Structure 1
Amino acid sequence: MSETQNSPQGPAPDPAAGATVLLVADPGLPTHRARSIEDSLQQHLDEVYDPPIRLQVRTSMLRLRPDGTLDLSEVLEQARSSGDPDAVLLLTEIPRLRDGRPLIAEIFPEHNIAVISCPTLGVLTTRRRILDALMRCTLRMAPTSESLDASRYARRWARWEELTGPDDHQLLLGSRVIGGARTVAGMVAGNEPLRTAPKLSSALAAAAATGAFGIFYSSIWSMSMHLTTQRLLLIGILAIGAITAWLIVGNRLWDAPRYERLARVVLLYNLSTVLTLLMIVALLYVCLVVLIFTSALIVIAPDYLAEVIGGEPVLARYLDIAWLSAAMGVVAGALGSSFDKDTDMRSLTHGQRERQRRFTEEEVGQ
């Protein structure tokens, strides 16, 4: 369907009464993004509809049924309490797929509800992409009486498809390959690795304490002297990879699909978990290298270092010591986090946050 076509599912807003749009966002990053574009969205809506429409922004978690399908009952209740708006937009962090392709947005014409998946929009120019997706959905649910070129909100990598029959929905789908990579990147951003890294403060403390031994043990100095740059890099990479695997296994962060149709989505969950933890552990490693390198410059006298290693005490030697010591420290830090009851790793992943959305079978039956 062309972007310039108006959707037939709803009448144009009454020019005398205006119209109302309700934007409901998941807690966390979706709400932050919704608030960041609220003024811009209002401006675009004012340009499209006359008189200007009223925009309401709320925060509420989109719930899931036990089989993983969307439960819109709470959203419908919010819509009724808001005076039955002309368009209801749900901005969620749930990654959604349709036949292996990222499902960017889905319109439910029977309720005038559109569900927009944040992760499918990636991490680059996200605010603009969210704004475009919201406007495209709004124009289809509440088409204007005047001719409007909606192509300015279109993206080359996304196109609309229609489902006919009992599931008469409109789907905005991304590309299969590039869209999948974009979705994983969006999920990693949703995990907010930079903001969640401080949750491993106990691991950093244990890593720093262990890594500090490298400053005081001359055997570490000598070992680093005889290791090539390539081997040192390999040691660092192996340490980061091994500890990432340890954290995933030790905290049971690897998800298994309960339903075969959700296997692809669960794969995205697992990929985003691995990448998120790799970023956190790599950040921990870099922090340790900087900390140990600075401490080594203060503690180890250049003359003494030259005497031990039998070479020039250049900065590269201090960096080698810091790099090797950090590898030991990262291992100790990850082990320490496994025994820290205050370190909640599971809340960092999409899989765990999805479980918080699910109604149990008992709740559904009530």
Structure 2
Amino acid sequence: MAPSDPRRPEIVVGLVATPPDYPAQVVARLAAELAGRLAERVDADVKWTVREGWGEVAPRRDGGAEALLDDLARRRADTRWDVAICLTDLPLHAGRVPLIAHVSARRRVAIVSLPALGLRQLRTVRAAVPDLVSRLLTDTRDERVPPVGWAPAELTSRVPAICRVVGVADAGELRYVASRLIGRVRLVTGMVRANRPGRALLGLSKLLVGAFGTAAIALTTSTIWQMGDALGGLRLTVIMLLGLAALVAWLIVAHGLWEKPDQRTPAELARLFNVGTILTLALATTVSYLVLFAGTVLTAALLIDTSVLEQTLHRPVGFTDYLTLAWIISSLATVGGAIGSGLEDEDTVRSAAYGHHPEPGGRPDEKNA
């Protein structure tokens, strides 16, 4: 049957992103190529139509996967899609292990938890979603496509994050879960990936400016030069770590980023959100520290002549002394930069909180999604 034949059956696949933040970016990229992948992997004689949309701003936290599946099923019925796939950044669990995907044939929908896929989320979604669509059509006995010739467990070979399958296809409910230990590690790293640390880094620009100002003042103080020379590598490391930890704690407390368990947020989910927020801020502040350190080294080398530094330290100096000087100044300036963080736009800083989701269209990247 020719591809242009109007008699070809049409199957409409809906892609839903919830919340309309990072998942919307993944949906937009996947939707542009999914029809071709479905023709290649499932059936080339079908006219594949892909629709995309947004789910709720913040998905229900208390209902887990079942609540998402019910909401998605209603969305599919209202829009008259044949099947629907939901991509979410909400960490989901089946029992006590991370849930990667849940296929519900009776509702003709499936969900994928992006954080459970780890760091290579877009690549994995490209591989998994066509198989999930094929699985749905087979389990619902859709006669427009031939049934798949592989068992549900075979998806584990194509998606490394999947450890095993819970349920049977005949029951209409299949859960693809990760391993208990490695799966949790992958889930946490995936949450940091979904939280986009780069956005948090760009959002803390005033903090970095304040830290540079503090470092510039400290560079002119000879007492700081002597202090850095007297401290060993271990103590300088402790000062650096304490400075970074204090900055992360200040950002969380000052901007109310700590997630507390309540009726709509279970304790386990709140803990995961807080871990994701802490790691995101830790990564962003560490990169900021490295930028500050590099800038301080360059500034010290340009402004402080070797002879002046030798007169203060009463010994010959080399490039490592400039590195040590930049090390202590960067650590002290990091704490000073916390003052600058108080000047940041509240919503900009709160975007680093994993459980925070703005209204659709609130950010430029969402408008372009």
Q: TM-score, normalised by structure 2?
A: 0.82
Aligned residue identity for 1:34: V
**What corresponds to 1:135 in structure 2?**
130
Distance 1:201 1:261, change over 3 A: closer
CA apart distance, 1:35: 3.2
Q: Equivalent residue for 1:314?
A: 318
Aligned pair 1:107/2:103, yes or no? yes
Contact 1:214–1:322 (CA under 8 A) maintained in structure 2: no
What is the CA deviation profile of residues 262-295 of structure 1, one whole-angstrom value per residue up to 9, with x for unaligned ones?
Answer: 2222221111111111111111111111111111
Note closer, same or farther for the CA distance 1:300–1:269 as it changes in structure 2 (3 Å cut): same
Task: Say if 2:62 and 2:265, in contact at 8 Å, map to a contact too.
Answer: no
1:160 has 2:165 as partner: yes
2:162 and 2:191 map into 1 onto residues whose CA distance is 18
Q: Which moved further from structure 2: 245-254 or 150-159?
A: 150-159
Number of residue equivalences:
339
Where do 1:225-244 residues align within 5 Å?
Answer: 225-244=229-248
Letter of the structure 2 residue corresponding to residue 193 of structure 1:
P
Q: Percent identity?
A: 27
Cα distance, 1:130–1:348 mapped onto 2, change above 3 Å: same
The match for 2:113 is: 117
- Alpha-carbon contact 1:100-1:264 (below 8 Å) kept: no
Residue aligning to 2:39: 46
Q: Distance in 2 between matches of 1:148 and 1:312?
A: 75
> Aligned match of 1:298 in 262, 285, 302?
302
Q: Offset of 1:301 from its aligned partner?
A: 0.8
The verdict on how the C-alpha distance between 1:156 and 1:239 changes in structure 2, with shifts beyond 3 A counting, is closer
- For residue 94 of structure 1, give the secondary structure of its aligned residue in structure 2: coil
How do residues 1-366 of structure 1 correspond to structure 2 at under 5 angstroms? 16-26=8-18, 27-38=20-31, 40-47=33-40, 48-62=42-56, 64-65=59-60, 67-69=62-64, 70=67, 75-76=72-73, 78-80=75-77, 82-85=79-82, 87-123=83-119, 125-143=120-138, 144-149=145-150, 151=154, 153-155=158-160, 157-162=162-167, 169-259=173-263, 262-342=266-346, 344-353=348-357
Instruction: Give the Cα–Cα distance (whole angstroms) in 2 for the partners of residues 189 and 76 of structure 1.
Output: 28
Residue identity in the other structure for 1:127: L
Q: TM-score, normalised by structure 1?
A: 0.83
Residues 25 and 91 of structure 1 are in contact (CA less than 8 Å); yes or no, is this contact kept in structure 2? yes
Higher mean Cα deviation, 64-73 or 298-307?
A: 64-73
Q: For the residues of structure 2 that align with 1:195 and 1:237, how far apart are their CA atoms?
A: 23
| Structure 2 CA distance for partners of 1:154 and 1:189, relative to 1, 3 Å | closer
Q: Deviations over 1:235-284 (max 9, x none)?
A: 11111112112211222222122249822222211111111111111111
Q: Which residue in the other structure is 2:365 paired with?
A: none
Query: Is the CA contact (8 Å cut-off) linking 1:106 and 1:169 kept in structure 2?
Result: yes
Query: Which residue does the alignment assign to 1:11?
Result: none
Q: Which runs of 5+ in 1 are unaligned?
A: 1-14, 358-366
Following superposition, the deviation at residue 352 of structure 1 comes to 1.9
The CA distance in 1 between the partners of 2:276 and 2:177, in whole Å, is 20
